Chain A
Amino acid sequence: MTNVLAWVSGSGVVQGIIIGGTLAFLSAVVTMNVVGRTLTTTVNGWSSIRQCGQPGNGILVRAACAKALPAVNVFEEAAYWTSTTDASGQRLNSSHDYVLHFPAGQFPPNDAFWTLTATDMVGYMVNNPANRLGIGSRSTLAKNPDGSTDIHLQSKAPDRHAENWLPTPSGNFKLMLRAYLPGAAILDGSYQVPHVARTQ
Chain B
Amino acid sequence: MNRLILKYGYPITAVILLVFAWVVYRRIAVGSTILPLVVAAVVVWVIGAPAFIYLWPRLTVGGYKRAILKHGFGAGPIPVNSLYAVPGTFSPSTASGSLLATGTNDLLYIGGWIDLKDRPQVLHVPDMAGRYYSLQFIDPSTGANFAYVGKRTTGTQAGDYVLTGPGWKGSLPAGMARISAPTNSLLAIGRVIIENDDDVPAAYGLAKLIQLAPMQQP
Q: How many angstroms from the CA of A13 to the CA of B20 in the assembled complex?
A: 13
Interface bits A128-164 vs B (CB < 8 Å: 1, else 0) = 0000011010100000000000000000000000000
Interface secondary structure of A, over-half rule? mixed
The tally of residues in A whose CB lies under 8 Å from a CB in B reads 59
CB distance from B91 to the nearest CB of A (A): 8
Q: Does residue A88 face the partner (Cβ distance < 8 Å to B)?
A: no
Say yes or no: A53 contacts B143, CB within 8 Å: yes
- Of A20, A121, A181, the residue contacting B40 (CB under 8 A) is A20
- Chain A residues in 8 Å Cβ range of B13: 26
Q: Does residue A65 face the partner (Cβ distance < 8 Å to B)?
A: yes
Q: Does residue B176 face the partner (Cβ distance < 8 Å to A)?
A: no
Interface bits B88-101 vs A (CB < 8 Å: 1, else 0) = 00111100001001
Say yes or no: A66 contacts B56, CB within 8 Å: yes
Interface secondary structure of B, over-half rule? helix
Q: Does residue A184 face the partner (Cβ distance < 8 Å to B)?
A: no
21 A-B residue pairings within 8 Å (CB atoms): A11-B37, A12-B36, A16-B39, A19-B23, A23-B48, A28-B50, A28-B56, A53-B143, A55-B146, A63-B54, A65-B143, A66-B59, A66-B143, A73-B136, A77-B145, A111-B151, A112-B193, A115-B104, A119-B102, A121-B7, A127-B92
CB-CB under 8 A for A67 and B60, given A21-B48, A53-B144, A181-B152: yes
For B45, give the chain A residue with the smallest CB separation.
Answer: A20
Q: Does residue A57 face the partner (Cβ distance < 8 Å to B)?
A: yes
- Chain A residues in 8 Å Cβ range of B16: 22
CB-CB under 8 A for A16 and B37, given A24-B49, A134-B105: yes
Interface bits B51-66 vs A (CB < 8 Å: 1, else 0) = 1111011011101100
- Of B38, B57, B106, the residue contacting A136 (CB under 8 A) is B106
- Chain B residues in 8 Å Cβ range of A31: 49, 53
Q: Does residue B142 face the partner (Cβ distance < 8 Å to A)?
A: yes
Q: How many angstroms from the CA of A11 to the CA of B39 in the assembled complex?
A: 11
- Of A21, A53, A124, the residue contacting B44 (CB under 8 A) is A21
Q: Find residues 68-102 in chain B having any chain A CB closer than 8 Å to their own CB.
A: 90-93, 98, 101-102
- Of B32, B36, B39, B187, the residue contacting A71 (CB under 8 A) is B187
Q: Does residue A122 face the partner (Cβ distance < 8 Å to B)?
A: yes
Say yes or no: B189 contacts A71, CB within 8 Å: yes
Q: Does residue B1 face the partner (Cβ distance < 8 Å to A)?
A: no
CB distance from A130 to the nearest CB of B (A): 13
CB distance from A74 to the nearest CB of B (A): 5
Interface size class of B (residues with CB under 8 A): 35 or more
CB-CB under 8 A for A16 and B53, given A71-B61, A122-B3: no
- Chain A residues in 8 Å Cβ range of B47: 24
Say yes or no: B142 contacts A57, CB within 8 Å: yes
Say yes or no: B37 contacts A25, CB within 8 Å: no
Q: How many angstroms from the CA of A59 to the CA of B53 in the assembled complex?
A: 7
Say yes or no: A70 contacts B60, CB within 8 Å: yes
Q: Find residues 69-121 in chain A having any chain B CB closer than 8 Å to their own CB.
A: 70-71, 73-74, 76-77, 111-113, 115, 117, 119, 121
- Chain B residues in 8 Å Cβ range of A189: none
Say yes or no: A20 contacts B60, CB within 8 Å: no
Q: Most chain-A Cβ atoms within 10 A of its Cβ — which of B57, B64, B93, B139? A: B57
For B47, give the chain A residue with the smallest CB separation.
Answer: A24
Q: Does residue B127 face the partner (Cβ distance < 8 Å to A)?
A: no
CB-CB under 8 A for A127 and B20, given A16-B36, A55-B142, A55-B146: no
- Of A23, A55, A119, the residue contacting B41 (CB under 8 A) is A23
Say yes or no: B104 contacts A66, CB within 8 Å: no
- Chain B residues in 8 Å Cβ range of A23: 41, 45, 48-49
